[in-house]
Structure formats: structure tokens, C-alpha cells
Amino acid sequence: MNTQELVETARKMVADDKGLLAMDESNPTCNKRFAPLGIPQTVDARRAYRELIVSTPALGECITGAILYDETIRQHTKDGTLFAKAIANAGIIPGIKVDTGAKDLAGHPGEKITEGLDGLRDRLKEYFQMGARFAKWRAVIAVGAGIPSRGCIEANAQALARYAALCQEAGLVPVVEPEVLMAGEHSLDRCGEVTEEVLRTVFIQLHEQRVLLEGMILKPNMVLPGSLCPRQETVDEVADATVRCLLRAVPAAVPGVAFLSGGQSCELASARLNAMNVRFKSRMPWALAFSFARAIQQPALEIWRGEESNVPAAQQALIHRARCNRAARRGEYHAAMEQTSTNIPQLTKTAA
């Protein structure tokens, strides 16, 4: 393991007030996003969409790393350049999703375990050779009556830690993503309790598996009220609850925390990240960044709709969201940013 390189890559991933772009939807998830917009659910359409993203002008001004999916990292842009190379040429670090998805956890109705450890060492070697320098693994924790169980939290935390250790052995920075889902009627307080318990358990397991904290990135959910909870707290209340939880559970040695967006609207995701950086930047030991998929991509996807002629407008929408989130890292995002950028239709639409 080259510790120095791992630490350096992790640091770069959250440097300069930039963040990560998740474009690693599995084929079923990508198809699910395409279907309501009438975009063909084909290898070709997925390739064209990913080319639209990576060829967005000036993307590297706001994005340090892009997470690819296995299908995409093997594909080329129209001019024959491998996606990982095209990304690196844009000054962006290529990353790769390496879990194989969340499956039902035996004996635990309503709960999931993320799979993908079998054969992972060899897959990581191949991805490194293809140019990837970081990886992602997402664990999914649902909140509901009697869940999450300890069995679910511990099984997922152990898998995350074993994945992270294998990544570091292979020279890849692990992005450790335990996602407490927003779906449900639960309160913000309940999300805070569950998130804190999950993060504590994850860091115990990371320690047990000898993961170098300086050479990883944490990708958590924000602490939010459930999407069906009647009480929806303000942006500042969400920022306070999220940072309080992280300060209690995330060791200071971790260089960066990069949130997932989890189905929040684009504007709320930016506003909440902004509020955290406005209110707490001087008190936080780690960089507080973003690793959004939907909250960066969704407006662009809705404009593109599979039409070549829509590519420039879609790229404009994509870079707009990337800029909003970079501003949020600096604590300089404000709602007026959504109005002042011209020729970006549908900015008030929420992410699916």
C-alpha cells in the first residue's frame, strides 16, 4: 500500500471547495431514470449520456472526481478515448462503483445487505490499471417500525470496512457510503439517532479492519426528516442536526465528508450544504463537500431527453448545479443564483 499516495488522492478529492460527481448509476437505476423521460434504455443511450456529462466544458472547475460504473469505464467517447482517460484529461480523478448492489438481508424483513466482496481484490486491480484512483460502496439502511436492526447495521458496516481495506491495499481511496434512507414518516431526530449509531458502528469496523482514516472519504446522508414526515425542519435546523451528528461520530483524521443527495431537491441539497459551511466551517475538522448524483444531474437529464441537439443546454444545467454546490462549500450559495443564470430551463424542478 502506498500510504502517501492514498492520503494525497483523498486530500485532492475534497480540495479547493470542489466535490465529487456520482455518475455510477447501475444499468437498472440508469434505465429507471431514463424511462419516464422517454429515453431509450440501451447501452448506446447510456454511453451518450455519460459522454455528455464528462465533456461538459469547465467541469473540472467544480468537480475533483467522477464515479463511473463498470459498463462506463469500459466505454469510449465518440473520438475513441476511454472514459477514464477523458475524465483524467479534464483534470478530474476517475473513480468506480465496486459494490454489486443491495440485496434482501436474510432473516431481516425490510432490510438490505450490500454485496460484492467476492472477487473484489481482482476487480480492484483491474480498475486501478484502467485508471481509477478511488472507489465507492453504498450500504443502505432503511428506517421504519423496528428497523434498522443491529444485525443489519453491523453486517453492512463490516462489509464497508472489508471493502475499504481491500481498496487501500489496491491503491484506491475508498468512499465509504452508509446511506440512511430519507423514505418514510420518521422524524429528523430519529434520522439523527440512526445516522449516529450507523456512523459509530462503521468507524469501529473501519478500525478493526485497519483502514487508514486519512486515506478515505466518508459519504453519508444529511440528517433529514423522513420524506413523509409532516414536520419538515428548516435549512438551518437540518444543518445543525447534521453537523452535530458528524462531530460526535466522525474522527478528525478523516479528510473529507462528501454528502449524497438522497432524493432531496437540487436547491435544498445546495442550501443545506451551504448552511453547514456558513454556520460551522471554522469548527469542523474535515472538509464538508458533496458527492451528488441526482442533485447535480437531474435537471440536465430532463433537458437532454436523449436528443443530440439538447446537449449544450443540458451541459449548461449540469455545470450550473456543479457551480451552485461549489458555492455551497464556500458558504456563498444563495437562492438568487438559481434566477440569475439565464437559459437554464426547469431550475425549480426537484430531483426524482
Site for ligand 13P in 2-61 (CB under 6 A): 22
The residue within the footprint of ligand 13P, chosen from 168, 261, 315, 316 (CB under 6 A), is 261
DSSP 8-state code for residue 76: B
Contact status: 134 vs ligand 13P (CB under 6 A): no
Please return the burial class of 8, using the count of CB atoms within 10 Å of its CB with bins 0-12, 13-18 and 19+: middle
Stretch that binds ligand 13P, among 38-46, 100-108, 194-202, 256-264 (CB under 6 A): 256-264
**Residue 269 C-beta: closest distance to ligand 13P, Å:** 8
138 binds ligand 13P (CB under 6 A): yes
Place of cell 477514464: 84
For position 292 contacting ligand 13P by CB under 6 A, the verdict is yes
Which stretch of DSSP H or E encloses residue 292? strand 287-292
Are 275 and 322 within 8 A, CB to CB?
A: no
Query: Which residue numbers are catalytic?
Result: 177, 219
Q: Which stretch binds ligand 13P (CB under 6 A): 44-52, 164-172, 292-300, 333-341?
A: 292-300
Report the nearest approach of ligand 13P to the CB of residue 261 (Å).
Answer: 3
Establish if 289 lies at the interface with ligand 13P (CB under 6 A). no
Distance of closest approach, residue 67 Cβ to ligand 13P, in angstroms: 6
Among 68, 188, 222, 295, binds ligand 13P (CB under 6 A): 295
| Sites for ligand 13P among residues 59-98 (CB under 6 A) | none
Tell me if 329 contacts ligand 13P by CB under 6 A: no
86 closest CA partner among 62, 109, 68, 107: 68
- For cell 457551480, what's the residue? 323
Residue count, binding to ligand 13P (CB under 6 A): 10
Give ∠ CA 107-108-111 in degrees, rounded to 5.
Answer: 145
Question: Closer to ligand 13P at the Cβ: 178 or 192?
Answer: 178
Residue 136: CB minimum distance to ligand 13P, A: 7
CB distance 73 to 94 below 8 Å: yes
Q: Are 52 and 75 in contact (CB under 8 A)?
A: no
Indicate the residue type of 143.
V
Residues between 148 and 207 with contacts to ligand 13P, criterion CB under 6 A = 177
- Report cis status (omega within 30 of 0) of the bond before 94: no
Q: How far apart are the first and last CA of the chain?
A: 40
> Which three-class secondary structure state does DSSP give residue 17?
coil
- Least distance between ligand 13P and beta carbon 220 (Å): 11
Q: Which residues bind ligand 13P (CB under 6 A)?
A: 22, 138, 177, 260-262, 292-295
